[in-house]
Amino acid sequence: MSLSRSYGLQARLRTHLQKSAVNLIASVSHRNPRESAPRRWVSSGTTNHEKLATKPVPKHDWNRAVSEAEKIVGYPTSFLSLRWLLSDEIANVALHLRKLVGSNHPLLRTAKNLIYNGKNNMQAWGLIVLLVSKAVGHAPTVPDMEQDKSAGVLQSQRGLAEITEMIRTAHLVHQGLVNLQPLDNAGNELGSDSDTIFGNKIALLSGDYLLGNACLQLAGLRNQPLIELISSAVRDLAESNFFGPRDQQNNPLPSMPLNTTTMGGGKGNSDSMNPLEPDVSFGDTENNMQPLSLAGVMGNPEKEWALRHILGAGTLLGKSCQGTMMLAGQPEALQRRGYLFGKHLSLAWQACIDLEPFSSDEFPSGGRFSLVSAPVLFHLDHDPALYDEIQKGLDSIDNIDFAKVHAKVRTGPGLERTRELQKKHSLAAMAVLNELPPSDARTALQNIILAMQDI
């Protein structure tokens, strides 16, 4: 069977299996899954890059940007590939999710986001790693047996892309765990919380299964420096769950704004920064294997926001981009630029996602948004009086009037400052891409960055 037919069959089977999984989650709104484009052959060489460069897609078309990028690397890159969907373990998880329908367990929301490749697109991380792999190429000393010439990447790089997605998804699934009772009631009967207990078991075991398989696959690459690099990213993910104040369900809360001249000014100290080099170094520009520094972070809106999301996502994507260059035998200086690219890209992505809940004046009853999102943190810097409302959530964020916070943020400077933040990190990521030779993969990465403007 040809590769084009294999790719088409895999895409159709994946779509069919995704539709079956959706039927288990009744509360999801309907949308048509993205149709997979036929397999397109591209050269893995460097001589015809100008001719192979894809046409820029419309700036605001996220789905098309991702679809075009998938065609460049030759296949869907998500770990939710055919072999994962057909595994007994994942099939059992999908069946057990049926028992959680109607329980409002956080695991259901994670499952919906995994099934639907929407704007938050958890499954695009491996795609970005492969595009970076293809854009930088590999050293001529790499044996032919290691090369996936049809996609223009190495077999080990494809494995790293899957590892990246498995680790990120495991982290998101683990975040779906719910504390069943407050500490002062610990040890009481939990018979009435059977659905929550079951959901916690599924979230814990599913996340452990993915993380365990990622570690096994990482060890199989037999590259000690890479193992240490990705392991440090997993350490950062774990630290992100304990960073800053939190309620009893471990939902993050912003820290108290600093009593400095930045309060009420709405600008902080970001104006002095070079827009191409945002000040988001926490010691990782010198040595990203060590834990990130917390000095001078809490209460500074931009630094606090950046550190939260570098720990929770940025180091994983950045170190995966760095690691894929390591596998390709690229110089250490270029590897470090790969880390910066992934870090800035993840922060630009997060800034776009943070803006989405504030895109409309209307706020749905019972709605929620992240209290540590950039617009909220910037508004607290501008109007510290709003922190009195935030403090109501120390026991539970359910005690916070989200509609009030939403209305306040909509009328303040937080949204504009977040747009500036997104632009700054997008430019920083673009600056790294511009150092690479022209290619279809580089153009696809640029298109993805441009498409973020409308997320």
3-state DSSP of 183-236: HHHCCCCCHHHHHHHHHHHHHHHHHHHHHHHHHHHHHHCCCHHHHHHHHHHHHH
Cα–Cα distance, 427 to 450 (Å, whole number): 10
Cα–Cα distance, 280 to 307 (Å, whole number): 8
At 284 the three-state DSSP class reads coil
> Helices 106-115 & 88-97, crossing angle to 10 degrees?
120
Cα–Cα distance, 45 to 150 (Å, whole number): 11
pLDDT at res. 334: 94
Contact 89, 103 (CB under 8 A): no
Q: Which of 395, 298, 312 is nearest to 353 (CA)?
A: 312
Structure tokens at 350: 């997060």
- Count helices and strands in the chain by DSSP H and E runs: 18, 2
pLDDT at res. 206: 81
pLDDT at res. 144: 74
Give the CA radius of gyration of the chain.
22
pLDDT at res. 160: 94
Cα–Cα distance, 80 to 132 (Å, whole number): 20
User: Within 13 A of 271's CA, how many CA atoms are on the CB side?
Assistant: 5
Structure tokens at 447: 């298109």
Q: How many residues does the chain have?
A: 455
Structure tokens at 110: 């994670």
Structure tokens at 147: 């090369």
pLDDT at res. 278: 63
pLDDT at res. 112: 57
Q: Which of 249, 104, 222 is nearest to 155 (CA)?
A: 222
Cα–Cα distance, 264 to 341 (Å, whole number): 33
Residues 6 or more apart whose CB falls under 8 angstroms from that of 383 comprise 264, 408, 412
pLDDT at res. 272: 37
Strands 147-148 and 153-154: antiparallel
pTM: predicted TM-score of the whole model, two decimal places: 0.78
pLDDT at res. 88: 59
pLDDT at res. 69: 81
Cα–Cα distance, 255 to 268 (Å, whole number): 16
At 81 the three-state DSSP class reads coil
pLDDT at res. 403: 93
Apex 392 CA angle, 387 and 394, nearest 5: 100
Cα–Cα distance, 212 to 447 (Å, whole number): 34
pLDDT in single tens digits along all 455 residues of the chain: 444 444 444 445 445 444 444 444 444 334 343 333 333 233 333 333 333 444 454 445 777 887 788 778 876 554 444 445 445 555 555 555 555 555 555 665 666 555 554 444 555 888 899 999 999 988 887 877 777 766 788 989 989 998 998 898 888 888 878 777 665 565 555 555 667 777 788 788 888 888 998 999 999 999 999 999 999 999 999 999 988 899 888 889 999 887 643 434 444 444 334 444 566 789 888 889 999 988 889 889 999 999 999 999 999 999 999 999 999 999 999 999 999 999 999 999 999 999 999 988 888 888 889 999 999 999 999 999 999 999 999 988 989 999 999 999 999 999 999 999 999 999 999 999 999 999 999 999 999 999 887 55
Q: Left (φ > 0), alpha (ψ -120 to 50) or beta: where does 439 sit?
A: beta
pLDDT at res. 404: 94
Q: What are phi and psi of 154, to 5 degrees?
A: -90, 155
